[in-house]
Each structure stands twice: as structure tokens, then as C-alpha cells.
Amino acid sequence: MEKTNIKTRTFFFICTFLGFLLIFLSRISVCSAAESDFYCLKSIKDSLQDPFNSLDSWDFSNANEGFICDFKGVNCWNSNENKVMDLRLSALGLIGEFPRGIRNCTSLTGLYLSGNNLYGTIPSDISVILKYVTILDLSYNMFSGYIPPDIANCQYLNVLKLDYNNLEGEIPRRIGYLPRLKMFTVANNYLTGPVPSFVSENITAESFANNELCGKPLKGCEDSWIWKHIDRDSFIKAFVIGWVLFFTLVLVLCLFQFPVKIILLNKWKLRSMKHINSGSEEELISQQKILKLEKFVTRMSLKELEIATSDFNDDYLVGIGMFGKVYKAILRNGWTLAIKKLNDWENLEEEFVSEITTLGGLRHRNLLPLIGFCVEREKKLLVYKYMRYGSLHEWLHSNKDKAKILDFRLRVKIALGIAKGVAWLHHGYKLHVTHGSISTRCILLDQNFEPKISNFWEAKIWSKNDAALSWSLFPVAEYSCLGSYKKDIYCFGVLLLELVTGKEPHELTSSRNLFDHSPCLLDADKDLLGKGINDLILEFLELACDCVKFLPNERPTMLEVYDKLKTISQGRNDD
């Protein structure tokens, strides 16, 4: 009996010990996970600029269990433990590269970073950083480079959104094999090549709009059978072997004195005769100009553009500008475009060519992408990416309700984007560019209120020695390069005054002397005042007045303007 009691007590002791051990180990596990997620969020905050203080609630001085679950944009698996399930940080104005510290959020399944100013490349080891991610939204940022093939190793992905970035190259073919992928979009990038075959049938042409992609559900690729049956390496090998065989054949023909030269000469003569008979000398010159323009952007078919707008029906009309009408069009491949049809009764050839040779050769987040052009039957058309929110001028001056949506923070964001684009034109491009006519009418807004500079009719491209270039198409008037820079800055200053006062340019120039203007808050739009940011509004006014000074040499450079606007955008509301 006593032995039985001893065994019972021993068994009870062992069970109790094991129970405490399990509880201890589980505590260690939870603390470890909590500590990891704690450092995950801290590293994210440390690595990103937060100009609008959107992450102010991320206070890491608290040590309570589950305290990070109260942070803005953070959803936890359980409110009582620091274990992050989703990060929803969209449209917070965050600036920086992809925060690699996210890898410490080891239980993360959803990452929403859209609508920020994140740049650089998407990490090549993204599947290691986000092991269990099911939703990844990086849209409306400034990510560049290639889509990493490793993203196809994120096997749990249901949603992948990469639209509205600066991504280039091909879409990795293996992404199509992701078994759970239900939503995928890469619209409005600079991607090329064939579209992968997807397991899901829910992915439509709109997911690939405004790129240079082909294949189902878009138009078929030229020589698409190559991509279906052989991979890139095989294609390159076949290409090299083909050229070797070709040159071998030519060598054999030459050895046997085959009259190759005579055949080629006869072909050349026939082509020359066809050109002579096909039209006048003026037509040949025109064709040569068109060929040069095709080096900048794609030449598009008039018939295709007519179909997309029902023969330019007024139902598709979205705007009327100085040089023509603008129509919204959706092509058969799903692209949404804006087509500017130049006035037939005006000789706008110089403006037409200037727009193509300038804007067609530039790529920047804050420049309106020029997709193509069309010259047929004496019609001239320019084709752009469609900007849903129209012009900045319309938002400021069309009606008061629209203007009220543009609060001061949003106006600063728009001004900062424009300044960034102009500073890149003036200083960041290998050939310096001056716009010549910056105004709120030539600033278009996408659905994220990101500004796009358009209308490069008067633009000049300058070499490093400040000589104006004409691309050998039309003569360009020689004038001071410095003066043209300062003209851009003056125009930008007027635009800043429009933003902060809500007045039209003619009202600004007629009501007061801009050159001797001492800024005061009475000039500002009354809807912007009284919200604790009056000091920032005054700084904005002072910068605008510096830009419109009478003496060009007294005006700041565009880089200085951009730096000042960045400081204003990061200003705190301390009132």
C-alpha cells in the first residue's frame, strides 16, 4: 500500500513538473515572438521617413502585453499578445526603400504599403522576408528595376498588386504558377514581353494596362510560338547558331562567285524606283521625319484610335486645350489612354515634334508618360496614359467643393511632386531640359493625386555646354540657357501662388505687384487658415515670392525650391 502511495506521489510530481515546464516554454516562445515583432515595427519606423507624422502612435516606451496592437495600421492575431498579423500602412506619405526589417514580423500575412513614396528595387529575396504573406500591395509607389523571380516562391499569395510603379523588364513566368493567386495587377509600369499563363481565370487585361506586354488576355505576341516552346537561353543559342549558319552560307556563295552583289543592287534600284513613283519629294521628307519620331515612341494606327473613341465621338471628350481636343479611349488590349487630337486648321508640326522628341525620350514619375503618336490623313494625334483626376487647374478653379478637397497637406504634396520633376529636368537628366510654360493647366493628377507634368510644346533640351539641341528636325531659337531655367522657376512660383491663394494667374498679376510682394497670411486661401499650420503656409508663400522675383539671378534654383518644399512637407503641427 505504501509503495502504491509513493508511486502515485512520484507520478503526480512528474506531471506537475512537466506542466510547469510546458507553461515556461510557451511563455518563452510567446515572449520571443513578441520581442521579434517589437523590433520588426521599430526597424520599420527607423528606416522610413514619415513627413506627415503618420506613425506618431508607434511609441515603443510601453512594455505592456499587446501594446503594439494599438499602433496605427497594425492588426494582431490576438489583442493580448504582440504578434502582428497585418500591416496596413497605405497612403501615409512614407518615404524610403522597402523596409527589410519586416522579416522580423514572423507571423505576418498581409502587407499594405500602397500610395507612399517608396523607391528602389523590390528585394530579390522577398519570399524569405515574407514567408507567409497572402496579400502584398506595393502599388502607387516608385519601385523600379525588375520584378524579382523569387516572388513566385511566396506560395501563399492570394493578392499581388504592383501597379503604378516604375518596374521594367518581363513578368517572371513562374508567377503564373502560384496556385492561390486570385488578384494580380502590374498596370502602369514599363514592363515588356509576354504575359505569363495564370492558373486563375480572374486576371483580366486591365491588370496589364499601359505597359508593353503581349499575349493572352492582351493581343498576341509577334513570333509568340518562340516563347511558348523554348525558353530565353534556348532562344539565344538558336539565334547564335542561326547567324553562324547564315554567314557560312554567304561565304560559300561568295566562293562560288554567286552574283549576290548584282541581286542586292537590283533590289536597291527597284526600291528606289518605288519610292520615286510613290510620291513627291515632300512626302519622302515627311516619311523620314516620321521614322525619326518612331525612335522616341511607338507609331499607332489611326483606325485603332478611331475605334477606341467611336470615331472621336463627343461622348469620349474629356477636355479641350489650346492645340486640340482630348479624348478618353480604352483599346482592345485593355489600355486606358488619353488621345490628344491636334487642331486640323493649325500648322502645329513644330509643337507636335517638340512634344514627341522631348517627352517621348524622358521617363520620370512626375512626367506624363507619352505612349505613342499617329500621323495619317493629315491628322496628328498624341497618345498618353490617362490621368483620372484631370488637371490641377480644374481642381483649384472649377468649383469650391473640389478646391476644399485639396487641403494644405495635399497641395504641398502636389507642389513637391512638380518640383521634383522640374528639378530632375534641370539637373538630374544627362541632357538638361527646360519646360518653358509650366502652369496648373499642364499639371495632371492621377488617382493618388500624384502630379504629372505635360505639354512640352516649348521645351528645350540643352547639352552639357548649354547649347540648345533640335534633334535635326526643326531649328531651335538660341537664347540664354540660364534665362530659360529661371523662366521655369518664375512660372513655378506663379503655380505655388495659385496653390496657396486659390486665385487665377491673371488675378495675381493684376491685383498686386508680384516682384515686390511681401507675403502675408491675408493672401492665403481662407479655407487653409486656422488649422494650426499658419507658419507653414507663410513659409510656402515666402518661397513662392522668391521664385517670382523680378531679377532672375535672385530666384532660387529648382533643387533649392525642392529642398525647401521637403522641409515644409515635414513641418509639424505644433499649435
Domain ranges of the chain: 33-229, 232-278, 298-385, 392-569
For the segment 123-145, the average pLDDT, to the nearest whole number, is 90
Asked whether the predicted pLDDT for residue 418 surpasses 90, the reply is yes
> 39: closest CA among 105, 112, 119, 124?
105
Sheet holding 190-194, edge to edge: 95-97, 117-121, 142-146, 166-169, 190-194, 212-214
* Strand-strand pairing, 142-146 and 432-434: unpaired
* Equal fold, 33-229 vs 392-569: no
Pinpoint the alpha helices (H) of 436-557: 481-501, 505-511, 534-547
Confidence of residue 207 (pLDDT cuts 50, 70, 90): confident
Q: What is the pLDDT of residues 152-179, one digit of tens each?
A: 999 899 999 999 898 888 999 999 888 8
pLDDT at 15: 52
Name the E strands within 187-309.
190-194, 212-214, 298-299
C-alpha cell at 379: 491628322
Confidence of residue 25 (pLDDT cuts 50, 70, 90): very low
For the segment 415-442, the average pLDDT, to the nearest whole number, is 87
State the Cα–Cα distance between residues 326 and 90, nearest whole angstrom. Answer: 32
CATH class of 392-569: mainly alpha
Q: Which CATH number fits domain 298-385: 2.120.10.30, 3.40.50.300, 3.90.1150.10, 3.30.200.20?
A: 3.30.200.20
State the Cα–Cα distance between residues 417 and 409, nearest whole angstrom. Answer: 12
Asked whether the predicted pLDDT for residue 279 surpasses 80, the reply is no
Residue 271 has what DSSP assignment? H
- Does residue 449 come out as left (phi exceeding 0), alpha (psi in the -120 to 50 range) or beta? left
Handedness of CA 144, 149, 151, 157 (dihedral sign): positive
How is domain 33-229 classified at the architecture level of CATH?
Answer: Alpha-Beta Horseshoe (3.80)
Q: What is the pLDDT of residues 144-153, one digit of tens each?
A: 889 999 999 9
CB-CB neighbours of 481 under 10 Å: 17
